[in-house]
Amino acid sequence: MRRTKPTWSVIPAATALATLLVTAGCGDVEVKANSEGDKAAKPTKVDTSAGEGGWLLGVTTAGGADAETSTTVYITYNPSTGQATAQKMPGVQAASASPEQAVLLVSADRRWAIPDTGISRTEEKNGRLKVYSLADGTAKVVDIRERTGKGDVNPIGWAFDPERADTLRVVDTKNRVWVVNVAGGDATSEPSLPKGPWEFTNGFNPNTGEPWVESIESDATRPPGNLPVGKDPVTRDGGTVMPAGSSELAKLPPSPCKLGAGYTDDAGVTWAFCADSASLATYYLPKDGKEWTAYGKPSTPVAPEAAGFPLVLPPAE
């Protein structure tokens, strides 16, 4: 029998609206830092050059009679110019990827995406897995049986490796773990997941990409430390990814968005993106800052009516 997958809600709680903020330009911006007893404001420079590149944002929509079908739309957006493009993934029923795992649905080189950590029954039966180009939305088939040279591989879960360009890990019904590149070449094997009183429920560690199994008797996992889901910050490119509704985002001053997600870079500057309308808006918060500042230009109207906002990735180097 096919293993049971956890279902994650695509509808996060809305955050409070902030007060109207002043739009800032590009590059280094001076922010006045007041200290108690110091009447003269001391300007400090904030590096906002990241706003001049193409950010990758992932928003989700909910469809179906009971909102059981979720669809991810990936948007590449340059806040300094307002230019944006969007690519829509196929819809998924009862998606198994948590908001934290959204980073594993995109390849490390930002060229490819998959719809979910779970694999459809059709693809499980035929071993032909489809990945989608973030440049033009075209599909590429990865035949896992051909790549492994084994006709008994029935894939049930997969995720991208966060460190290796276009590399995927695929778990099959025998708990075997396969590593395969989208571009081509033979698949290689990694140590199999434990069997016995352990169950694979499409769990992949957001920061390592490694799959894990959960005990059917307790909250223990192998490798250990993967529960509860969402307890550890999600990191990429030296910064922290903050999905909508994440605890990291909740620790910051009230968001300027009804529905937003963010990213804190290695300099401590936090970027927030609002998906409240078809045109995305951008704000930044200096390290230890108390107020958000609007940045750049709203995007061209490319965003769908979003129910979730699980992914913000900074411009690729």
Could you tell me if 221 and 249 lie in one domain?
no
Q: Examine the domain organization and report whether 262 and 182 are in the same domain.
A: no
Residues of the domain holding 300: 9-85+240-317
For strands 23-24 and 293-295, give the pairing.
Answer: parallel
Q: Rounded mean pLDDT of the chain?
A: 89
Alpha carbon 37 to its chain's center: 43
Q: How confident is the model at residue 24 (pLDDT cuts 50, 70, 90)?
A: very low
Instruction: State which H helix or E strand residue 177 sits in.
Output: strand 177-181
CA-CA distance, 204 to 162, in Å (whole number)? 11
Which pLDDT score is estimated for 188? 98
What pLDDT is stored for residue 43 in this prediction? 60
Q: Do 200 and 135 belong to one domain?
A: yes
Domain count for the chain, please give it: 2
pLDDT digits (tens, 9 = 90+) for 51-77: 999 999 999 999 877 778 999 999 999
pLDDT at 12: 40
Of the candidates 195, 229, 263, which is a domain's last residue? Answer: 229
Please state, in angstroms and rounded to a whole number, the distance separating the CA atoms of residues 4 and 38. Answer: 60
Residue 235 lies in a domain: no
223 cis-preceded (ω within 30 degrees of 0):
yes
State whether 287 and 178 are in the same domain: no
Q: Are residues 113 and 195 in the same domain?
A: yes
Q: Is 72 inside any structural domain?
A: yes
Same domain, 173 and 192: yes
Same domain, residue pair 198 and 245: no
* End residue of a domain, out of 168, 194, 229: 229
Whether 218 is in a domain gets the answer: yes
Neighbours of 43 (CB within 10 A): 10
Domain stops at, among 173, 208, 229: 229
Cβ atoms of 197 and 215 closer than 8 Å: yes
Residue 263: closest CA among 278, 276, 248: 248
* Distance separating alpha carbons of residues 61 and 41, to the nearest angstrom: 44
Per-residue pLDDT band for 2 (boundaries 50, 70, 90) equals very low
Peptide bond just before 315 cis, omega within 30 deg: no
**pLDDT for residue 27:** 58
Mean pLDDT over 266-283 rounds to 97
Judge if 280 and 159 occupy the same domain.
Answer: no
Strands in 112-113's sheet, in edge-to-edge order, are 112-113, 128-133, 139-143
Q: Is 3 a member of any domain?
A: no
What's the pTM? 0.87
Kindly tell me the burial class for residue 121, based on how many C-beta atoms sit within 10 Å of its own C-beta (0-12, 13-18, 19 or more): exposed
Measured between alpha carbons, how far is 80 from 27 in angstroms, rounded to an integer? 9
The tokens describing 60, both together, are 């989700």
Distances (CA, A) of 93 to 5, 8, 65, 66, 69: 11, 11, 12, 11, 4
Burial 98-116 (b: 16+ CB within 10 A, else e): bbbbbbbbbbbebbbbbbb
In this structure, the answer to whether residues 121 and 195 fall within a common structural domain is yes
**pLDDT score for 66:** 72
Q: Are residues 188 and 220 in the same domain?
A: yes
Which of the four pLDDT bands, split at 50, 70 and 90, describes residue 16?
Answer: very low
pLDDT at position 42 is 57
Q: Give the least confident one: 38-47, 197-206, 240-249, 283-292.
A: 38-47
Sign of CA dihedral 146, 147, 153, 157: negative
